[in-house]
Amino acid sequence: MVPVSPPEAFALAKMLEDLPQDHRTRIEQRLTETRERLQAAGLLPVLQEWAESPSQKSDSDVDPINRAYYALRLPCIFLENDACSIYEHRPAACREYLVDTPAEWCQDTEKNHVQELPIPLRAGTVLSIVWADLTDGPVRLMPLPVAFEWAEKHRALNMKTWKGLDLFHATLDGLGKFLQQSFASLPRKKPVR
């Protein structure tokens, strides 16, 4: 499941709006099909609640949702002819998912042997932290299938503007918060005497 930050949700919605009609129609059709399958599986309301949650879900909360989502084997709505049809506009999570194992290993969600290359900095998470600071809202990452709905519902938030220096400082602060969280989760070594 691809998580997107609020700025990414707005950017994807704008990108979709600006696509040629035939390309947009194909993506909207795949999005409708995905949402119908999620609804039938009882996952759509869970994902919608997740997108609107006043607090970010923990990894332990997200894991069963991810497993149920992946069990549906839903193709990405942007996938056409085995390639990303919005490659230049893809979410940060897609840009950061780097593996060095065979693609067929991704088919087994229970015994996943995929070896993801470590990424020390998650741009989507930093964007979420910056957005939360700028809007006085929660840190939020939402599942891609509900991002367009979220962006439409919160369209007024996308009209806000900030000075460049304020954005720069917020980004540095967000990066600092992300690094603090990352370092806090690392195992601590005892000092050698």
The pLDDT tens digits of the residues spanning 79-99 come to 998 889 999 999 988 888 765
List C-alpha distances in Å: 82 to 28, 77, 98, 114, 163. 18, 11, 17, 19, 40
Note the pLDDT tens digit of each residue in 170-185.
Answer: 778 877 887 777 667 6
Query: What is the 3-state composition of the chain as percent helix, strand, coil, each rounded to the nearest 5?
Result: 60, 5, 35
Token look-up 């996952």 returns 43
Q: Is 192 inside a domain boundary?
A: no
Residue 191 included in any domain:
no
* pLDDT of 102 above 80: no
Percent of the chain at pLDDT > 70 equals 82
Mean pLDDT of 29-51: 96
Give residue 161's pLDDT band: very low, low, confident or very high (50, 70, 90): confident
Does residue 163 belong to any structural domain of this protein? yes
Q: Flag the least confident range among 4-8, 41-45, 104-108.
A: 104-108
Distance CA 185, CA 180 (A): 9
What predicted TM-score, i.e. pTM, was given to this entire model? Answer: 0.80
Q: Looking at the domain assignment, is residue 128 inside a domain?
A: yes
Residue 55 lies in a domain: yes
| Dist CA 126 CA 114 (whole Å) | 25
pLDDT at 24 over 80: yes
Residue 20 forms part of a structural domain: yes
Burial grade of 180 (CB within 10 A; 0-12, 13-18, 19 or more): exposed
Give the domain extent around 90. Answer: 3-184
* pLDDT at residue number 183: 66
Residue 56 contacts residue 138 (beta carbons within 8 Å): yes
Look at residue 85 and tell me if it is in a domain.
yes
Q: Higher model confidence: residue 48 or residue 57?
A: 48
Q: Report whether pLDDT(109) > 60.
A: no
Average pLDDT over residues 136-145: 89
Output Rg (C-alpha) for the chain, integer angstroms: 18
Q: Is the dihedral of CA 11, 4, 45, 145 positive or negative?
A: positive
DSSP assignment letter at 61: H
**pLDDT exceeds cutoff 80 at 62:** yes
What total of structural domains would you count in the chain?
1
- Candidate from 24-38, 40-54, 133-147 with smallest mean pLDDT: 133-147
Q: Is residue 166 part of a domain?
A: yes
Across residues 116-121, what is the average pLDDT? 68
Contact 106, 98 (CB under 8 A): no
Residue 47 has pLDDT above 90, yes or no: yes
What are the tens digits of pLDDT across the range 120-136? 777 788 888 888 888 88
